[in-house]
Amino acid sequence: MTDTENLLEVRGLKVYFDIKGGILKRTVGVVQAVDGIDLDIKHGEILGLVGESGCGKTTAGRAILRLLEPTAGVVRYNGQNIYEVRHAEMKPYRARMQIVFQDPYSSLDPRSKVGDIVGEGLRVHGVTDRNERQQRVLEALRMVGLQEHHMRRFPHEFSGGQRQRIGIARALVLNPKFIVCDEPVSALDVSIQSQVLNLLKDLQQSLNLTLLFIAHDMSVVEHLCNRVAVMYLGKIVEVAEREELFSNPQHPYTQALMSAIPVANPKIKKDRIILQGDPPSPLNPPPGCRFHTRCLEAVDICSQEEPELIDLGNNHLCACHLRQPDTVS
């Protein structure tokens, strides 16, 4: 069943990677990068997907676009499970579902001119008329604040922020409906970050785009996203509307992430929650709640039973044994 409010529905998505070793290259371990996540992404919303490096958010984003084949699960785009679509018939979905990469330096071919980089997708998707391609590239560049003469330049002639604009233009040129923004500002100077975030927000509104915005920093999603999903070691641990999540975080991991957001006013004192140790390896995740090795509230059951992601009310989902609908204020 599909909810027409949702452009994308992710159910039970798992992405495991085999670790090969020895002379015979046998499987010696399995990295559980994404381990059974469910996610709805509504038409025209920006959903933030937040978590520490290595939690599986980038892998999840790529599997949702089918840039990676999943181990299990379903991703429905407008009701169609894209994993059931034959590879030869994926083209229309590839045009509608695009990605903006994290690193604007390595994601652009240094030997190609900007016009060719942005126009490549049009060529691949069968736009053979050169004039039409040029026109559409120019439109995409203007949408991100670049000009016609930029088409003839090479990536090294641009600043980091401008390169990320080129990456966004490349994603826009095929008129997509859905874009995965994979940490699009984390490689940029802080002074440039807000310009790119504002640009994404404006484009999302003017083109009615749906975005999955991946970030490791809560403060980046705070002003951009409509809803936020928090991920820890391959699992979604909390999902809520932005205002609800930021005013009333429930999961101890989310609370720790929130406590790390800097406050502009030096008179406001914030108690920072310092998590002990590093996240465990997804090669050998802890049993029960995956967060129990670092959680300051852990009790016996936490290391034995995995908590389910349940609705605490108000569409606020949380996976913690100590948070039940009647415990939320």
Task: Give the binding site for ligand SF4 (CB under 6 A).
Answer: 251-252, 289, 291-292, 295, 297-298, 302, 307, 320-322
Task: Quote the least distance from Cβ 237 to ligand SF4, whole Å.
Answer: 7
Task: Quote the least distance from Cβ 38 to ligand SF4, whole Å.
Answer: 18
Helix (H) or strand (E) holding 40: strand 26-42
Phi-psi sector, 119: left (phi>0), alpha (psi -120 to 50), beta: alpha
From 252, 238, 224, select the one nearest 315 (Cα to Cα): 238
Contact call for residues 233 and 319 (beta carbons, < 8 A): no
| The pairing of beta strand 310-311 with beta strand 46-50 | unpaired
Task: Quote the least distance from Cβ 298 to ligand SF4, whole Å.
Answer: 4
C-alpha 101/C-alpha 168 separation (Å) is 9
Q: Which is nearer to ligand SF4, 61 or 288 (CB)?
A: 288
Task: Quote the least distance from Cβ 41 to ligand SF4, whole Å.
Answer: 25
Q: Which is nearer to ligand SF4, 158 or 253 (CB)?
A: 253
> Which residues have CB under 8 Å from 298's CB, separation 6+?
289, 291, 292
Q: Which is nearer to ligand SF4, 18 or 308 (CB)?
A: 308
Assign 49 to helix, strand or coil.
strand
Task: Quote the least distance from Cβ 302 to ligand SF4, whole Å.
Answer: 3
Q: Which is nearer to ligand SF4, 9 or 238 (CB)?
A: 238
C-alpha 168/C-alpha 162 separation (Å) is 10
Q: Which is nearer to ligand SF4, 119 or 279 (CB)?
A: 279
